[in-house]
Chain A
Amino acid sequence: MSIKTIETPIFECETGNYHTFCPISCVAWLYQKIEDSFFLVIGTKTCGYFLQNALGVMIFAEPRYAMAELEEGDISAKLNDYGELRRLCLQIRKDRNPSVIVWIGTCTTEIIKMDLEGIAPKLETEIGIPIVVARANGLDYAFTQGEDTVLAALTHRCPEHRISSDKQCQIDQKIFPDLLTKQIKKNYWEDKSDNHPPLVLFGSLPSTVASQLNLELKRQSIRVSGWLPAQRYTELPSLGKGIYVCGVNPFLSRTATTLMRRRGCKLIGAPFPIGPDGTRAWIEKICSAFSIQPKGLEERENQVWNNLRDYLDLLRGKSVFFMGDNLLEISLSRFLIRCGMIVYEIGIPYMDERYQASELALLQSTCNKMHIPMPRIVEKPDNYNQIQRMRELEPDLAITGMAHANPLEARGINTKWSVEFTFAQIHGFTNVKDLLELITRPLRRNDSLRDLGWTNLSV
């Protein structure tokens, strides 16, 4: 057997001294996604202050999240955790009556070893609302990985795909009366008519983007039987042996592992549907898992590329530097290289080579195809060192967090805030234009300022 040797990616690891959002920020988009949820962040003023400022105006719109702010008595264990959480959750039930309360564990609950996982089941039966525990803290995770911990925790709450026995059914019925009646029966009956095993997609996307992806797959006569998370907690998809799952975002490795190991699902490892190249590869992988011959995909991809000419002209030959803070970096780099850009460095908080294997392979083949060397991938980057490197490389564009954006701009380096990629709609064929709109915005803006002679404004 001959193995074609291609340049293998080299991963470097720096000090981890980089700026990113705390993973508790995931409540910002998850409470909006899961409409009947309530997120309770059990932490300190520090966590609250971060959320309040990072979420900006959303705070004023009576969001379905709150802080359980720990006080000195909670830390010194003078107060009883169970009693305190019970009091707050009853309050939440009274005010909002959610279908699920998600507890977000923070650094403080980790350090004082508050037994959230132990308390939740007891309290759940007492107050009659499911309580899901996700430990999305800054000790262990970065930014978008917060969603990963929440989805991994939700995985355990998805109903079983096949109803195993009448007894199990009765037990389930007690705990999740709503779930059983609708979703399980629906899956149970409908699956029989499909020409492929049931497919569940995981990753939180705005509902319009989710239906766009559903539609893309439908064109290949693949039916998506559910999303994790669904629009409502009571509509979580059923999982189990025989269910195929596929991720839509690169930061969901824990969720993927949990789906495989704990729920017996089959994972389709694919690049992520970001950019037309990624979307096509993603669909192809799913098709091939079901032995379906993809139809008209190549034309669809080409057509999208053709519509992007103006943007591509602007990007071709330009260089970009990812400082790294949200784990979308590999997919975005791969897409930008395909657009004709040169990537100097891909900073990334955490690299799961197994979960991202297909994406990495696509990155490599894209580099080959575009005849450029594989960029260096820097895990746990060091922002200070990166800025030194950037001074030498002088990239045309730096994709970076908000802490560095203004100072870099003042030094004449175009920047794009990385956070926008997590909030904007960037998945699938339909949204490529928006994605490029984001990326080219600083270039277009600065093009129009170029002749004014005030590029470098640092003091």
Chain B
Amino acid sequence: MKLAYWMYAGPAHIGTLRVASSFKNVHAVMHAPLGDDYFNVMRSMLERERDFTPVTASMVDRHVLARGSQERVVNNINRKDKEQRPDLIVLTPTCTSSILQEDLQNFVDRASLSSDSDVILADVNHYRVNELEAADRTLEQIVRYYLNKVRGRRTMNQCLTDSPSANIIGIFTLGFHNQHDCRELKRLLRDLGIGINQVIPEGGFVGDIQNLPKAWFNIVPYREVGLMTAMYLEKEFGMPYVSVTPMGVVDTAEFIRQVQELVNAWAPILLGRKVNYESYIDNQTKFVSQAAWFSRSIDCQNLTGKKAVVFGDATHAASITRILAQEMGIHVSCAGTYCKHDAEWFNEQLQGFCDEILITEDHTEVGDMIARTEPSAIFGTQMERHIGKRLAIPCGVISAPVHIQNFPLGYRPFLGYEGTNQIADLVYNSFTLGMEDHLLDLFGGHDTKEVITESLSTDKDLTWNLESKAELNKIPGFVRGKIKRNTEKYARQKGITNITVDVMYAAKEALNA
């Protein structure tokens, strides 16, 4: 058993449901107790979905515990088949079905005999995989299912499209800024003269999956979801893929160069010429994206050497860390991710870009790390935003898990050239927020503040006298916490319990020495 207050990645079934409900005309039937369809609320509220979420539950209740749920599951699948005529029904196991150990595959086999829809059982185990891993698997499972189906029928058309085209794999519902990223990617590809063969799962039809191999190559923008599918397609159909995330100026260029290489594998034959995107990259970098200019401007100069910490999913945390370090000259003290299963990749990606790497699913560890590092800004998830609030450190949200405010109505991609502009704003605003606070403090704007500092550690054996408290208040907000802690550390070392102004300065000198 684990004492847990908060989790970064959700349970496996959420991942399956996110993938299933992103496809068009696919229905998921959860094998779950009453109350586990909370996914529908999230989708309806966060994505502000206009349509009913295509997820229903086949209830597990006392009756099921006594007699098993075969009949009920089969009936529920058949009922959905009649009512909504989906192309595919995905039976989704939950933590409850994991321990009931019923033969769900058998129910699926029975149900598919009597229904027009295809029926599959999502192959995910609650106790082995989390939300993101489950999403990755489910997507691969669905793609594999449909490709095997046409291969069996020998109706597969494997001809490449005439002009270069790509599939975008891994855009799906409740993903962090996924819709905007998708639009930006499409725009980028259009600029390069590359057609979109398919986007899956978001908005795709399972009937079209058989045409996936027609694309020249695949694009997997996020590490978390889509890689399994891309690897499967590579193995079975020899389709290459690009897995560089086009986030930030440098990586977007790298992404385009890789795309160029893949296009040129066929271009001489099919187009009769090679493509060269270098001038496009140059033009976009210098004029469309403002990020390159920003990093040259004195605004960004002021950020040089400022300390930041980054935490999030593997894709976003890695990309943002590199942007901060190599494109803006910011000092990343610590970068971390909760994607434990991808730790190796993460480590490798960030060699040389930060002082320290933290891989954990425990938000208190992240909180302690932040309190210890005392950065000028945090880039993290909603959890880090709240940690930042308590420590009076500004935070830019760069990764799921997120709240409704991270589903903006306006256009806010993180990928591509427009994405670089958005990120520059986010970074700059987070830091200046802290700066403004500092200036206000310098000019005594906050002198009515009672609280000296919010701190995660409570320390009751030390007292600050009135004078030293007042002195502490004069110190700018963003370094106040550090000075307080250093002074207390010093006091403790010297066995002083009553902190006076003298002690404060003695501490400062001791540290400088």
Residue numbers of A with Cβ under 8 A of B are 16-24, 42, 44-46, 48-50, 52-54, 56, 59-60, 63, 66-72, 74-75, 79, 84-85, 87-88, 91-92, 107-108, 110-112, 137-143, 384, 387, 401-407, 410, 457-459
Contacts and interface: CB of A to CB of B under 8 A. Distances in A.
A108 B36 CA distance: 13
A45 B50 contact: no
A108 B96 contact: yes
A38 to B, nearest CB: 11
B75 to A, nearest CB: 9
B340 to A, nearest CB: 14
24 contacts: A17-B76, A18-B34, A20-B34, A22-B35, A24-B35, A49-B14, A54-B38, A56-B403, A59-B6, A60-B389, A84-B1, A88-B1, A108-B99, A111-B96, A111-B100, A139-B62, A139-B65, A143-B35, A403-B37, A403-B41, A406-B44, A410-B50, A457-B50, A459-B51
Contacts of B99: 75, 108, 111-112
Given A66-B4, A68-B3, A91-B3, A142 B34 contact: yes
A23 B35 CA distance: 8
A51 to B, nearest CB: 10
Give the residue among A49, A63, A84, A387 with the most B Cβ atoms within 10 A.
A49
A54 B42 CA distance: 9
A139 B61 contact: yes
Contacts of B83: 384
B11 A45 contact: yes
Interface string B21-60: 0000000000011111110111011001111110011011
A48 B44 CA distance: 20
Contacts of A50: 35-36, 38
The 7 closest A-B pairs by CB, nearest first: A22-B35, A138-B33, A403-B40, A410-B50, A138-B35, A60-B386, A45-B11
- Say what secondary structure dominates the interface of chain B: mixed
Nearest to B76: A17
Contacts of A24: 35
A46 B389 CA distance: 28
A221 to B, nearest CB: 44
Contacts, number: 160
A208 B61 CA distance: 37
B443 interface: no
Contacts of B6: 52, 59
A311 to B, nearest CB: 27
Interface string B94-110: 11101110000000000
Contacts of B59: 16-17
Interface in B378-395: 383, 386, 389
A275 B159 CA distance: 69
A376 B39 CA distance: 30
Interface string B51-82: 11100110111100100000000001000000
A71 B7 contact: no
A263 B42 CA distance: 42
A36 to B, nearest CB: 19
A406 B46 CA distance: 10
B18 interface: no
A139 B33 contact: yes
B505 interface: no
Given A46-B13, A387-B52, 7 more contacts: A22-B34, A44-B11, A50-B36, A67-B3, A84-B1, A88-B1, A404-B52
Contacts of A85: 1
A17 B33 CA distance: 10
Contact of A402 (B35, B41, B386): B41
